[in-house]
Each structure stands twice: as C-alpha cells, then as structure tokens.
Structure 1
Amino acid sequence: MRYVVIGASAAGINGAKRLRELDPKAEIVLISKDDAIYSRCILHHYIAKHRSLEQLRFVAPRFIEEHQITWLKGEEVIKLDAQAKVIATKSNKTLSFDKLLIAAGGHVRFPDIPHLKEATNAIGLHSLSDCAAIIDAAKRAKSIVIMGAGLVGIDAVTAFLPQINKKNITLVELKPHLLAMQLDARAASVYEKAFADAGVKQIYDVKIDSLTVNARNKIKKIQLSNGEILPCDLLVVASGTAANVGFLAGSGLKVDKFGLVIDKYGQTSHPDIFGAGDITGLHPIWPVAVKEGIIAASNMFGVCKELDHFFISKSTMNFMDIPTMSLGTPNIENCEVLIDEDSKGNYKKIVHKDGKIVGAILQGNLDYSGVLTQLIANKIDVSKVKKPIFKINYADFFKQTKDLEFIYKLD
C-alpha cells in the first residue's frame, strides 16, 4: 500500500503520523513545497527573533526517519489525475498512489487593488520564505503598514513591536474593530487600547483605495477610502487566505467556491482521495487542521472516524499578555446574550439560541473555559440551568452512577 500525502503542515504531518501508527508496513510518501516542518501559527515569533527556526518545528528532530516517511521536499504538485491515481510535480516527477491525502494548505489572498500583486514590497505572511522577505524589507523600512486585523494581521503587528521605537507601525482594517470574526467590540477594545498604548496606529472601517508605486514597482504611499494618505515602505498583506486548489483543475475532484469539498470523514468525491486543513478553504485554524488530518488518515486506513465541527471556530490568543478565548460565532444576531464582567477586566459572554450555545468569549480569567467546554460538548440546554450560568462549577454537573462511573448531566 502506498499512501501519498501532499503538504507538510498541521494536517499533512499529523495525517502522515496517524497513517504510520495504523499501518506500520505501508509506504508513506510526503510531498511539500517547504523543505522544513514548522508551525505557521508562530511565524511572527521568528520575525520578532523570539524563536529560532528550530523552535518553529512542531515535531521531533528525527520525525521523518522515525516514522519511515519518504519526504520529497521542495516539490510543488501541479497536476492530479484522480482516475489514474497519479500526481505530477513542477520538476516533472510523477508518482502513483493507492490512497492520497491532500493537505496542500492555502495562500494569502491579495485584494484586487491596482499594482498590489506586482509590488515588490507587498508581502504576505504565510511561509518561511515570506518571513525572510519581510525581515529583509523591514531592515530598510521606516513606515510599515499591515493590511488586515484578523489573527494573522495581529500576529504581524506583534512581530514588529520590538521595533516600535524605530518604525511607524500602522494597522488598517475594513471592519469596525480588530479580530471581528473572533471578538465583539467590547473584547476587541481591550486589545486596541493595548496596541495604541504601545505606539501602534490603528485605522478601522476603511479600505485601501489605491497605491502609489515607483518605477521599480515599490509602494511609496497608500491612499485609504477615508482620504488619508499613509507613507509605506513595507506592506504586510494579511487580508485572508485562499485554498491551494489550482493544481486540481481537470482532476475530476469536486471543488466549490471555498476549496476542496470533503465530507465528515475527510473523503473527497473520489473514494481513495481525502482532504484536510486549509485546502478546504473553510476553517483556517491549526487545531481543526490537525484534527482533520488525523480523521482523514484514519478513514484512509479503514478506521471509521467522524469530524465533530463544533470547535471549528475556537481561537485562544494572548496578545499583549491579555488571554482571550473565542468560540463559535459570538456576534450572531437574534440570540440570547449573557454577559458577566468585573472591574479587573475579566469579561465573559455567552450567546445561545434555543438553549444551545452558538458563541462565547472569555477575556482575562479563562478558568471558566473548562465548564464552558462541557456545556457545549454535552449539549446542555443553558436556558434550563437553575443557577446563574457563570456561577456553575463541575460539582453542579458530575454525578456518580451506581457503577461508580461519572456522568455529566444537569439535574
């Protein structure tokens, strides 16, 4: 049996690891554009010199050898023939497979702004090569602009904080506040104040209208939709990601407007081809990619596993030493909202509809996250909770059965 895995990030590596655990004798081939295994979630630490390249790695140094994986590094897959079960790479290599895991990830989506894609100092933040380009450009830059205040954009801001006394750092965001998908205005304002106090200029509710570039396609100025003009020597583009599905054209696999289509088992429209991670274009966070890779690999081998998608939108962050957790959709309308906060900056918000929690935010003290997780995992109807929801503890739920087992259930 030959398993081929495309992609050496969270989904691909964890998928390959799971395959080896399940099938000690199979041939496993890993193909990736990268020639190193590293966490994309902490690339900003590399830019800020808080971590070395070695410290970005999320596997043991001899992971490939210990798991007996053949790694074709620095290889880009450019074509897939699903019917023939063959892939082709940019260097003209072809490789057949019995079963395939596509975990090719995504890339930074550059908005349709004239000159942006050609600009030599407009760089995304998604890979080690991006980091190298950003580090090099930042050496000469005095004015750095970050486009996008999502998780990647905020990562970029924190990466430049050590240089705040030498650089002008500006964050530009289309939404009314930062981390608009994860936080509400109340929780976001805490981060906004912390960044402002650190010297970061922030401009919300605006978009970039146009760029002024020189003869060498280097951005010099940025004009915003509010008429403001910003000097710019380096533009870090953090305006979202798009799935790497270009090589799937003509493959026969089903692809939608987001990316590769998979079911709850990770299976694509071909029974021997599976997908996981950012290639689906749906849930671009690390824990989900890991889980999808493991589940897809399990089903490739024949161990039936289903993906529970509730925690798709779970984000835990600690920017500026302010711990925050976001679950689900905390800003959804037409729902019941429960809020608890104190003078110490601790903030809790639960959003539920018909008793089912659909979103939540914790900021400051995250101790309640354990109870909250159980409320969600056990589908507890919070509208029937007899005591204030934020006063619940484990003793209110754990009950011992006659068989001396513990169950989690409301009276």
Structure 2
Amino acid sequence: MLDKIFNMFKSKKTIDYVVLGASAAGINAAKTLRELDKDASIVLISKDEKIYSRCMLHHVISNHKTIEEINFVEPNFMEDNNIKWIKNRNVKGLDTNSKIIELEDQILEYDKLLIATGASAFVPPIKHLRDGNFVYTLRNLDELCKIKEKASTSKKAVVIGAGLVGIDALVGLLEYENLEVSLIYTEEYILNKQLDKYSASTYENKFIEKGAKLYPKSSIKEIVLENNKDVKEVKFEDGTTIECDFIVVATGVSPNADFVTGTNIEYNRGIVINDRCETTEDNIYAAGDVVGKNAIWPLAVKQGIVAAYNMVGKDKKIEDSFAFKNSMNFMGVATVSLGITNPVDDTYSVVSRCDVKGYKKFIYKDNVICGLVSQGDISYTGTIAYLIKNKLEIPNLENRIFDIGYADFIELKENGEFCYNI
C-alpha cells in the first residue's frame, strides 16, 4: 500500500536527514546535523506546533511562566539553521525497505532517519478513568491549557501518581488559592524512584503546609461519574471517596513508536539502540523517551547529539550513560539524588547526617560510593557524581565521606594547570 502511495506522492528529492520529534533529542540532533553538514537537506516533523520543555509545563500551570518562556530554542531557530519544519503531523507509517515515511497528507523519502518521537502519558485501566470528562494528562500544550482553564473555575482537584510529573502537577495546582488538591499514590512516599523516605517527607510536609491532601499507599477502585460523565469522586478500594472536579493522571508513559510495527526495528519497552544510537535497521537512529530508558533531559540531549554525529558518518558513542541522577527544587528546597537512594541488600553501608545546612545520605560498599541523597546543601554533588559513575575506590572512605570535595581530587600540573588526580 505504501509503495503505491509513494509512487503517486513521493517528494521530488530524497531528504538527507529526517528528524521525527521536536523536543530535547530531536532539536539537539537537528542543530548538530546542521553544524556538521552545512549543505544537507534537513526536515524536522513534529505533532506539536510549538517547541517547549515538558519539564517546565507545571510553571505555566502556576502562571510563573508563559508558553513562550518555556521555549528552549531561539525564535528563528529553524530559519537560521535552514531546517524545514513540518508541524502538526503524526507519522502514519514507515517503510524501511523503500526508506519512506507516511504522514497524513504527505510521503517523504529519506536517506537517514532519527526517531525522537518521545512518549505519551499512560492512563491506567481504572474503571471510568478513561471515559470520564475532565480527566487530563500533563504531556502537551493542549492538555496544559485545558488544566489551566479547569483549575481556574474548580474547587477540588485530584492528581494520581507521585512521580516527577505528578509532583510537578501538584506544585502547579497548589498555586490556585481556592483549589483543594489531593495527591493519590500507591507507594509509601512520593518520588520513591528519586528520593529516600526522609528527603521525600521534607517535601510532603511542605505540600501539606501549602494545603495539599496526601493519600499514600492508596488503591483506587473506580472513578464515580455524574450522569453526563463528568468526574465526581474517586472511590478507593476500602469504599471511601473524595470529591473532585477534575483529575490529572501522572502514572507513567508509553513510547510513541506504534509506526515501527512491521519493520525490523527491535522494540523492547522502547526502541532498542546501541551506544551510537543506531537501531537494528540500517540508517535509522533513535533518541530520547522513545527508547524507553530513564527519561531525563540531559540524557535525551546527549543521545540526540550522538545520533547526529553517526548520521553524518562521524563515529561517536554515548560514553556516559549515567542516568541515575535527579535534581529538583520544590517549595524552595533543592535536592539532588545520585545512583541508588536505598541499599540493595545488607552488604551496603548507609550513613546520613542532618544539620542546619540540610540532609545528606551516602550509600557505599567496599570504599566505593554507590549513592547519594543531598537536600538543602547540594554543594560538591558534581564531584560525587563522578565518583559514583566511575566506581572509584576511596581509601578510608567511611571516616571522610562527609568531607569529600573538589580539593581531594585536584592537583596542579607543572605548567600551572589544574587537573583531576583520579
């Protein structure tokens, strides 16, 4: 079928590089492609009509930023880089043998392709959650605008899920003075993949002080709807209910990769890539949330850049895939977590300290730091990240672990330059 359409509507010229997706991975890949190949044809395709940081959407909900202010590229980025941008388009099909992409109204022929289509919110199969009115996710501008509009006229809101997106939504909604916000989650404490119980409790207490109602270790049985299908209540498994005018669902994501079905591109909870961001199909690369790895912005940027280098034939690898790093700042409290936040078994040692500067917890084993949670005072976390990532052994670690800083690993060369001595 695609071959017939291709013969009818194929573009006049094969495009050197096609990039699918206009977020962290796609934009940085397109920019790098232009830097490396000044004369190539580059087409970027996105389902959105604006470029924006999904990490910043909650700031728009709270009215601390505008949509324009969360745009992370220059105003004339596409023109300045001679990139053709096809907006508001979804990929309908991909024929890797003929090297063609099918959009709703167009067929494109490519030489090299980068898939950076991101991920969509996953809505769990809770009764009536998927078919009730005023149920939103926080993944795109359309949903964002709907949340803002509904929040301004509502009295009670519910956020389901206490990962980073759920907490972002909570923080944004807490800025509405007349809105009571409830957070429901199945885990013992919020952000359980990024924090430990103590550091999470710091934020939980701040949210409660702000007026939030928290429901940890709670399982939802169903969403109670009005006759017109507007959401009315959330009913728990124990039969208790809480009222709500709208719901924000933040229970995970699913990679946007349906169009690779039927190709030889390997998929395992995301598109499988190697350290050059190559897929299992020649001339096709992938980066960002669509690969199903830890969804953090710096790694997506890095993957996009690495993919671009290899697309133009310059060998480059993901040398640093260290993704167990999270930084956040909610309610004026900064926190950084690195590596593991809780010991895997009893062979690991844990030491923590809480003082006027803040809270620090180290997890270590055999004189090697394996994890850190630092809240309040987040100085020297760059050095600690380097030590964790490279699994470096530090003699007498137990007695000096809280005093490790840059000076411990810097030495002066004969020519006067400073360098790491590890």
TM-score band, normalised by the shorter chain? over 0.9
Query: Residue by residue, what CA displacement relative to the aligned partner does 1:18-57 show, whole Å, maximum 9, x if unpaired?
Result: 1111101100000000000000000011111111111010
Compare 239-248 and 390-399 and name the one that shifted more: 390-399
Q: Identify the residue that residue 113 of structure 1 maps to in structure 2.
A: 126
2: distance between equivalents of 1:186 and 1:386?
21
Segments of structure 1 that go 5 or more residues without pairing to the other structure are: none
From 109, 122, 126, give the equivalent of 1:96.
Answer: 109
- The alpha carbon displacement at 1:207 in A equals 1.9
- State yes or no: 1:294 paired with 2:305: yes
Q: Identify the residue that residue 331 of structure 1 maps to in structure 2.
A: 342
Q: Identify the residue that residue 347 of structure 1 maps to in structure 2.
A: 359
Secondary structure of 1:288's counterpart equals: helix
- State yes or no: 1:150 paired with 2:158: no
1: distance between equivalents of 2:406 and 2:357?
24
Secondary structure of 2:194's counterpart equals: coil
Query: Residue by residue, what CA displacement relative to the aligned partner does 1:184-224 show, whole Å, maximum 9, x if unpaired?
Result: 00100100000011110001011211111123322111112
From 114, 121, 130, give the equivalent of 2:143.
Answer: 130
Amino acid at match of 2:333: I
Query: CA, structure 1 residues 403+345, in 2 after alignment: closer, same or farther (shift >3 Å)?
Result: closer
1: distance between equivalents of 2:366 and 2:46?
45
- The alpha carbon displacement at 1:98 in A equals 0.4
Q: Identify the residue that residue 80 of structure 1 maps to in structure 2.
A: 94
- The alpha carbon displacement at 1:147 in A equals 0.3
Secondary structure of 1:156's counterpart equals: helix
1: distance between equivalents of 2:373 and 2:313?
38
Query: CA, structure 1 residues 390+289, in 2 after alignment: closer, same or farther (shift >3 Å)?
Result: same
Amino acid at match of 1:182: Q
Secondary structure of 2:167's counterpart equals: helix
- State yes or no: 1:30 paired with 2:54: no
2: distance between equivalents of 1:362 and 1:310?
21
Q: Identify the residue that residue 206 of structure 2 maps to in structure 1.
A: 194
2: distance between equivalents of 1:200 and 1:144?
10
Q: TM-score, normalised by structure 2?
A: 0.92
Secondary structure of 2:92's counterpart equals: strand
- State yes or no: 1:178 paired with 2:190: yes
Query: Residue by residue, what CA displacement relative to the aligned partner does 1:316-357 show, whole Å, maximum 9, x if unpaired?
Result: 101000000012221242252343423326111222344443
- The alpha carbon displacement at 1:298 in A equals 1.1
2: distance between equivalents of 1:383 and 1:209?
53
Q: Identify the residue that residue 5 of structure 2 maps to in structure 1.
A: none
Query: CA, structure 1 residues 93+392, in 2 after alignment: closer, same or farther (shift >3 Å)?
Result: same
Check whether the contact 2:233–2:242 (CA below 8 A) recurs between aligned residues: yes
- The alpha carbon displacement at 1:310 in A equals 4.5
Q: Identify the residue that residue 409 of structure 2 maps to in structure 1.
A: 397
From 236, 245, 264, give the equivalent of 2:248.
Answer: 236
Query: Residue by residue, what CA displacement relative to the aligned partner does 1:95-128 show, whole Å, maximum 9, x if unpaired?
Result: 1100000000000000111211112211000000
Check whether the contact 2:136–2:147 (CA below 8 A) recurs between aligned residues: yes
2: distance between equivalents of 1:329 and 1:19?
35
- The alpha carbon displacement at 1:180 in A equals 0.4
1: distance between equivalents of 2:190 and 2:126?
22
2: distance between equivalents of 1:231 and 1:387?
53
Instruction: Give every structure 1 segment of 4 or more consecutive aligned residues whose post-TM-superposition deviation is greater than 6 Å.
Output: none
Query: Residue by residue, what CA displacement relative to the aligned partner does 1:254-301 show, whole Å, maximum 9, x if unpaired?
Result: 111x11111111000012000000001121111111111111111111
User: What fraction of aligned residue pairs are identical, expressed as a percent?
Assistant: 40
2: distance between equivalents of 1:2 and 1:305?
19
Equivalenced residue count is 407
Amino acid at match of 1:25: D
2: distance between equivalents of 1:345 and 1:222?
40
From 220, 226, 232, give the equivalent of 1:220.
Answer: 232
Q: Identify the residue that residue 70 of structure 2 maps to in structure 1.
A: 56
Segments of structure 2 that go 5 or more residues without pairing to the other structure are: 1-14
1: distance between equivalents of 2:229 and 2:325?
39
2: distance between equivalents of 1:303 and 1:350?
40
